[in-house]
Structure 1
Amino acid sequence: MRLARVGAPGAETPVLLDGEGTAWDLSGLTTDIDGPFLASGGPGRAAAALAEGRLRPLDLTGLRFGAPVARPGKVVCVGLNYTDHAAETGAEPPAEPVVFMKASNTVVGPDDEVLVPRGSTKTDYEVELAVVIGATARYLESPADAGRVIAGYAIADDVSEREFQLERGGQWDKGKSCETFNPLGPWLVTADEVGDPQNLAMRLYVNDELRQDGHTKNMIFDVRHVVWYLSQFMVLDPGDLINTGTPAGVALGAGNDFPYLRAGDVVRVEIERLGAQQHTIGQAG
């Protein structure tokens, strides 16, 4: 099942997209696709409503796709989680997941404009598999338990300002939390439809030039390990988002081969079975 939110920012309509590409309005079933909807079995109720003919189709022509989950309570990120990315940055593969937080108001629609911050010369891109939490995760016993708390997956571009992140002291968060720095979507694909999250090809293009060509099989810590690990240090709530790391090909690791992002660039991000997003880079005023 694919779930999405369409319409103007702040006024999105929740929809279900079926296997034929038809969108079905969920506004009679829920006000939004958010933590309470996911925690209360919303995807199952939506599927039942569709099967029973209780949903009406919605024409998506001209409609903007918003982030497929209303603003998460938190966005938790894992750094250096791909073998090739660790190598390109000259870092040793970590013994435990590298964890940092990203402001939840960075989450925007998949095709919304992404803004280079004031004073930035090193705004970078990162294709990532995003995990959407669907049930409370607290001290999970093992990675095997993680599957029951995962609602599904989406595409994220974990946009990063490398000078702010690495050269200005303090923690990584300030290079990760600039406005618009987390385009998400176009939809949330439920875990049962995705199947194995470690079997997904992922690519990112800047101005039609392939920059990242990776695969989730190359994660150092797989999705279930990451969810289990995080639950030992924080409570994960329904609707929370986890960005699980990026493969090689970011501007930070490419030297002069790949320049950092500038206003006017167009970024396209694809993950197998999750669709694609495309956003234009603008400049913060």
Structure 2
Amino acid sequence: MKLMRVGPVGAERPVRYTGGRYLDLSSATPDIDGAFFASDGPRRVRDAVDLPEIDVAGQRIGPPIARPGVVLCVGQNYAAHAAESGAPAPASPIVFYKAPNTVVGPYDEVLIPRGSTRTDWEVELGVVIGRRARYLDSVADALDHVAGYVLSNDVTERAFQFDHSGGQWSKGKSCETFQPLGPWLVTPDEVADPQGLRLRSWVNGEPRQDSTTKDMIFDVAYLVWHLSQYTVLEPGDLVNTGTPQGVALSGRFPYLRAGDVMEVEIDGLGRQRAVLGSA
């Protein structure tokens, strides 16, 4: 099942996309948010009947989940990306927070921050939590707490991340518009293996990243279990699982500038396209 949100910023309506049709879920839920997942929302909207079809042509596609309570990110979770960053593969997941108000839609403008010289792209598999995860007993329990998967772009300003960091990464991750999501949230029944998805990115039509989630150092199930040992994951929270090699940080490509077109894609989870503007 594919869930999405359509409409102006702050006034998106919940939609189910199925068989080329867009079904309005407003009669079944006011939004796709933490309360929706906590109240068994995916099952309710899957079973809902007589949903009206809507035309989304010309309408803005918003992020598929409303503002999450938290955005947790995992760094250097692909060995080749760690290497291009000049770091060894981590022995334990590197975790940092990203401001939830960075979340925007898959085609919204992304703003290069004031004073930025090193804005970068990062295609990532995003994991949306569906059930409260607290001190999970085992890795085998973890995927039962996942509501679905989303295409995520963990946009980053590298000078803010490293040179201005004060020892942590969130300054380079939390600039406005730095978290494009969507176009859909895809429920686990349509993702046969979260470790078997191809990720790609382009800038101005030129290929940048091309890898698969099987190259993760720590897989999705392990990450959810691991995070639950240190923090409580709530329904609607977002976990970014890391990016593969091929970013500007590698030194092989120029950093982003206003006017550039940034695209990212994951098999089955859709494609994003953002034009870069200036803050």
TM range (shorter): over 0.9
Report if aligned partners of 2:73, 2:98 keep a CA contact under 8 Å in 1.
yes
Long gaps (5+) in structure 2: none
The Cα offsets for residues 25-54 of structure 1, whole Å up to 9 and x where unpaired, read as 0001111000111111111111111xxx32
1:214 CA displacement: 1.0
1:215 is matched with which residue?
Answer: 212
For the residues of structure 2 that align with 1:265 and 1:46, how far apart are their CA atoms?
Answer: 38
For the residues of structure 1 that align with 2:232 and 2:272, how far apart are their CA atoms?
Answer: 30
For the residues of structure 1 that align with 2:138 and 2:203, how far apart are their CA atoms?
Answer: 39
The Cα offsets for residues 92-133 of structure 1, whole Å up to 9 and x where unpaired, read as 110100000000000000110000000000000000000000
1:169 CA displacement: 3.5
Q: Pick from 247, 250, 264: which aligns with 1:269?
A: 264
1:281 is matched with which residue?
Answer: 276
| TM-score, length basis structure 2 | 0.99
1:87 CA displacement: 1.2
1:252 CA displacement: 0.4
Q: Pick from 66, 72, 75: which aligns with 2:68?
A: 72
Report if aligned partners of 2:165, 2:172 keep a CA contact under 8 Å in 1.
no
For the residues of structure 2 that align with 1:151 and 1:217, how far apart are their CA atoms?
Answer: 20
For the residues of structure 1 that align with 2:59 and 2:173, how far apart are their CA atoms?
Answer: 28
Report if aligned partners of 2:13, 2:25 keep a CA contact under 8 Å in 1.
yes
1:201 CA displacement: 0.3
For the residues of structure 2 that align with 1:87 and 1:119, how far apart are their CA atoms?
Answer: 27
1:176 lines up with 2:173 in the alignment: yes
1:22 is matched with which residue?
Answer: 21
For the residues of structure 1 that align with 2:201 and 2:154, how far apart are their CA atoms?
Answer: 12
1:219 CA displacement: 0.1
Q: Pick from 189, 192, 203: which aligns with 1:192?
A: 189
Aligned pairs (5 A) from 1:121-136: 121-136=117-132
Q: In the alignment, residue 8 of structure 1 is paired with which amino acid?
A: P
1:145 is matched with which residue?
Answer: 141
For the residues of structure 2 that align with 1:130 and 1:169, how far apart are their CA atoms?
Answer: 24
For the residues of structure 2 that align with 1:69 and 1:271, how far apart are their CA atoms?
Answer: 17
Q: Tell me the SS of whatever aligns to 1:184.
A: strand
Report if aligned partners of 2:118, 2:159 keep a CA contact under 8 Å in 1.
yes
Long gaps (5+) in structure 1: none
Q: Tell me the SS of whatever aligns to 2:151.
A: strand
Runs of 4+ in structure 1 over 6 Å off: none
The Cα offsets for residues 50-89 of structure 1, whole Å up to 9 and x where unpaired, read as xxx3211011111111000000000000000001101111
Q: Tell me the SS of whatever aligns to 1:10.
A: coil
For the residues of structure 2 that align with 1:209 and 1:142, how far apart are their CA atoms?
Answer: 42
Q: Tell me the SS of whatever aligns to 2:72.
A: strand
For the residues of structure 2 that align with 1:2 and 1:27, how far apart are their CA atoms?
Answer: 15
Report if aligned partners of 2:165, 2:171 keep a CA contact under 8 Å in 1.
no
Q: In the alignment, residue 240 of structure 1 is paired with which amino acid?
A: D
